Structure 1
Amino acid sequence: MSSGLFALLDDVAALAKLAAASVDDVGAAAGRATAKAAGVVIDDTAVTPQYVQGIAAERELPIVKRIAIGSLRNKLFIILPVALLLSQFAPQALTPILMLGATYLCFEGAEKIWGRLTGHANHELPAAAMAEGGKEAEEKTVRGAIRTDLILSAEIMVIALNEVASEAFWPRLIILLVVAFVITIVVYGVVALIVKMDDVGLSLRERSSAFAQRVGHALVVGMPKVLATLSTVGIVAMLWVGGHILLVGTHEVGWHGPYDIVHHLEEAVRPAAGAAGPALAWLANTACSAVIGLVVGSLVVAIVSVLPFGHKKAADDAH
Structure 2
Amino acid sequence: MSGLIALLDDVAAIAKAAAASIDDVGVAASRASAKAVGVVVDDTAVTPRYVTGFTPDRELPVIWKIAKGSLRNKIVFILPAVLLLSQFLPQSLSPLLMLGGAYLSYEGAEKVFGALRGTAEDAEEDQALSGAEQEAQMVAGAIRTDFILSAEIMVIALAEVAAQPLLTRALSLVVVALAITALVYGVVAAIVKMDDLGLRLSQRRLGSTRALGRLLVRAMPAVMSVLSVVGTAAMLWVGGHILLTRLAEFGITAPEHWAGELSHRAAAAVPFAAGAAAWLAETLVSAAGGLLVGLVLVGVLHLLPRRHTAG
Range into which the TM-score falls when normalised by the shorter chain: over 0.9
Question: What amino acid sits opposite 2:102 in the alignment?
Answer: T
Determine which of 212, 226, 240 is the counterpart of 1:243. 240
Aligned length: 309
Determine which of 290, 297, 300 is the counterpart of 1:300. 297
| Rounded Cα–Cα distance in structure 1 between residues aligned with 2:299 and 2:255 | 22
Shift in Å at residue 189 of structure 1? 0.7
2:185 counterpart of 1:185: no
| Rounded Cα–Cα distance in structure 2 between residues aligned with 1:162 and 1:310 | 43
* Contact 1:112–1:121 under 8 Å retained in 2: no
Q: Which moved more, 1:95-104 or 1:8-17?
A: 8-17
Shift in Å at residue 265 of structure 1? 2.2
2:96 counterpart of 1:83: no
Instruction: Summarize deviations over 1:224-243 as a string: whole Å, max 9, x none.
Output: 11011000000000000000
Give the structure 1 partner of residue 116 of structure 2: 117
| Rounded Cα–Cα distance in structure 2 between residues aligned with 1:267 and 1:99 | 25
| Rounded Cα–Cα distance in structure 1 between residues aligned with 2:207 and 2:138 | 40
DSSP-derived class of the 1:207 partner: coil
Instruction: Summarize deviations over 1:146-181 as a string: whole Å, max 9, x none.
Output: 111111111111111111111111100000000111
Shift in Å at residue 212 of structure 1? 1.4
Instruction: Summarize deviations over 1:29-69 as a string: whole Å, max 9, x none.
Output: 10111111111111111111101113211111111111111
Determine which of 135, 139, 158 is the counterpart of 1:142. 139
Pairwise mapping of residues 197-212 of structure 1 onto structure 2 (< 5 A)? 197-212=194-209
Distance change in 2, residues 1:9/1:121 (3 Å): farther
Instruction: Summarize deviations over 1:268-311 as a string: whole Å, max 9, x none.
Output: 33344324111111111111000000000000011001112898
Give the structure 1 partner of residue 149 of structure 2: 152
| Rounded Cα–Cα distance in structure 1 between residues aligned with 2:128 and 2:5 | 71
Distance change in 2, residues 1:301/1:7 (3 Å): same
Shift in Å at residue 16 of structure 1? 2.1
Q: Which moved more, 1:260-269 or 1:97-106?
A: 260-269
Instruction: Summarize deviations over 1:173-219 as a string: whole Å, max 9, x none.
Output: 00000011111111111111111111111111111111111011011
Give the structure 2 partner of residue 230 of structure 1: 227
Pairwise mapping of residues 283-294 of structure 1 onto structure 2 (< 5 A)? 283-294=280-291
| Rounded Cα–Cα distance in structure 1 between residues aligned with 2:127 and 2:183 | 26
Percent identical: 56
Q: Which runs of 5+ in 2 are unaligned?
A: none
* Contact 1:55–1:130 under 8 Å retained in 2: no
Shift in Å at residue 122 of structure 1? 5.6
Q: Which moved more, 1:103-112 or 1:17-26?
A: 17-26
Give the structure 1 partner of residue 57 of structure 2: 58
* Contact 1:109–1:297 under 8 Å retained in 2: yes
| Rounded Cα–Cα distance in structure 1 between residues aligned with 2:16 and 2:175 | 22
* Contact 1:205–1:214 under 8 Å retained in 2: yes
DSSP-derived class of the 1:55 partner: coil
2:12 counterpart of 1:13: yes
DSSP-derived class of the 2:130 partner: helix
Shift in Å at residue 250 of structure 1? 0.2
RMSD (Å), alpha carbons: 2.1
What TM-score do you get using the length of structure 2 for normalisation? 0.93
Distance change in 2, residues 1:210/1:130 (3 Å): farther
Distance change in 2, residues 1:140/1:54 (3 Å): closer
| Rounded Cα–Cα distance in structure 2 between residues aligned with 1:311 and 1:151 | 30
Determine which of 242, 265, 269 is the counterpart of 1:268. 265
Question: What amino acid sits opposite 1:83 in the alignment?
Answer: V
* Contact 1:304–1:310 under 8 Å retained in 2: no
Q: Which moved more, 1:14-23 or 1:290-299?
A: 14-23
2:92 counterpart of 1:93: yes
Give the structure 2 partner of residue 103 of structure 1: 102
Distance change in 2, residues 1:134/1:287 (3 Å): same
* Contact 1:201–1:218 under 8 Å retained in 2: yes
Q: Which runs of 5+ in 1 are unaligned?
A: 313-319
What TM-score do you get using the length of structure 1 for normalisation? 0.91
